[in-house]
Structure 1
Amino acid sequence: MSRLSLKNSRLLRTSALALSALLLIAGCAGSPSADPSSSASGSSSESVSPTPTATPTPTPSYKPASEDGPAENVPVPEMPAVAKEHTEEGLKAFIEYYFELINYTNESQSTDAIAPSTNLKCASCSRIVRNVNNYKADGMWMVGGEYSIDLIYADLSNRPLGYKYANIKFHQSASTDYKGPQEVDEEFELSSDIRWQMSLKPVENGWIVVDMGAGK
């Protein structure tokens, strides 16, 4: 056996003896084993509780007016994109939308939606707002009475102040006014073949009703 091999053999034997001694000392001086119950308790206390899932708020459902009470949660009409165009098609679409606003105003007894599209000097428009406010103040409401347009003739020719005009034909369904639950105040029959003329002003986001009333 060569000298190099002999030297390596001695070194390995000496290292093995030293390692055995260290392991023996470590075994004698080691810390006592941990209490299993203590370990389990620590893990339990550090566990994170699951985050509760938020319950979505339900959307209030629409309740139409009836003999028992006024309407609730009436959906607000949305203006179609075409109604913002200053064209014949846009004018007709806006008038249809405006009559939806009138129906919404009567049913919901709220004038917030119709106000931005109405000129304050419009007499017929002001009468609608005034009637709605009076009904609400007196604790009254209407069942029925929806407006439906039958015909629109639009006139986009140049007029003073840039106004545009339209002749419309519409009808209003039969209605009943209530002054309390199941307490009738007045009843109205179907009104048909109603003819009005409307004056409208083109604005940036559509139109504004300047005036409307019985056509000549």
Structure 2
Amino acid sequence: MAIAVLAGCSSGETANETLPPVTSSAAPTSEALQPLGPPDLRLPAGAREQTAAGAKAFLDYYVELMNYSTTSLATESLRDLSRDCQTCSRFADGLDEVSDSQRRIEGAEFSINGSSDPLVRNGTAEFSMSLTQRKSRLLSAAGEPLPEFDQADTTFAGSGALLSWDAERNTWLMSNITFQ
């Protein structure tokens, strides 16, 4: 048997000329994935796994991205990492309005107090969670406080999130987030 295998290579061809090309159906490595998120707050590789842990990592990242966007008033990544999420669009629209009026926001940081393990099925991940938004105030273009827009710390204990899997970009996307 060994003679027959060796005889197949006796014609002078190298193995890479006679063997079929190797193909892989494995998920792309993190080096091969298109970077997502702002350059100084990239979506972590762990959030790009279609697993319960990946969904949780994406949820944590998206809340961090909301905080980043509130400070930077840059909403492109919020929109890019959501799909048909009305709350996400309204949030980004509000930040765009603040930016367009040359105002800025102080505070308003969101934090997740706790969340359920995600229910992952059919390309979606569903969470129940509790969020807190820290007190905030809106400042005019001149940097003066606008007290009529002040908000106290607010806890949204009955909140939730729905993520959907984007197989083309190999990432979760925010489909719905509720603040209740």
Question: TM-score, length-normalised on structure 2?
Answer: 0.70
Within the candidate set 127, 138, 162, 1:166 is matched to: 127
TM-score, normalized by length of structure 1? 0.59
Matched, 1:189 2:166: no
State whether structure 2 residue 97 is matched by structure 1 residue 138. no
Q: Does 1:96 align with 2:60?
A: yes
- Structure 1 residues without counterparts, runs of 5 or longer: 1-73
Q: 1:214 to 1:108 in 2, by over 3 A?
A: closer
Q: What CA distance in whole angstroms lies between the structure 1 residues aligned with 2:110 and 2:179?
A: 15
Q: How many residues were matched structurally?
A: 139
Conserved 8 A contact 2:73-2:99: yes
Distance of 1:134 and 1:194 partners within structure 2? 28
Per-residue Cα deviation, 1:18-56 (whole angstroms, up to 9, x for no partner): xxxxxxxxxxxxxxxxxxxxxxxxxxxxxxxxxxxxxxx
Distance in 2, Cα, partners of 1:153 & 1:175:
27
Whether the 8 Å CA contact 1:151–1:169 is kept in 2: the answer is yes
Q: CA deviation at 1:158?
A: 3.0
Identity %: 24
SS of the residue aligned with 1:129? Answer: helix
How far apart, in 2, do the equivalents of 1:212 and 1:174 lie?
20
Counterpart Cα distance in 2 of 1:96 and 1:157: 16
Alignment of 1:154 with 2:91, yes or no, is no
Task: Compute the displacement of 1:193 (Å).
Answer: 4.3
For 1:200, the equivalent position in structure 2 comes to 163
2:3 paired residue number? none
- Aligned partners of 1:91 and 1:154 also within 8 Å: no
Structure 1 pair 80–200 and aligned structure 2 pair: CA distance change class (3 A): same
Contact (CA 8 Å) 1:171, 1:190: kept in 2 or not?
Answer: yes
The equivalent of 1:115 in structure 2 is 79
Q: Which of residues 114, 137, 142 in structure 2 aligns to 1:176?
A: 137
Runs of 4+ that moved beyond 2 A: 154-159, 192-195
Label 1:166 to 1:135 Cα distance change in 2 as closer, same or farther (>3 A): same
CA distance in 1, matches of 2:99, 2:87: 19
**Offset, 1:116:** 1.9
Q: Equivalent residue for 2:175?
A: 210
Q: Which runs of structure 2 are paired with 1:5-24 in the superposition (5 Å)?
A: none
Task: Give 1:196 shift.
Answer: 1.4
> Unaligned stretches of 5+ in structure 2?
1-37
* 3-state DSSP of counterpart to 2:140: strand
Higher relative contact order (CA 8 A, sep 6+): 2
Give 2:128's aligned amino acid: N
> Which residue in 2 is equivalent to 1:23?
none
Deviation track 1:166-185 (CA, whole Å, cap 9, x = no partner) reads 11111111111111334111
Residues 89 and 133 (structure 1), Cα distance of their counterparts in 2 relative to 1, 3 Å cut: same
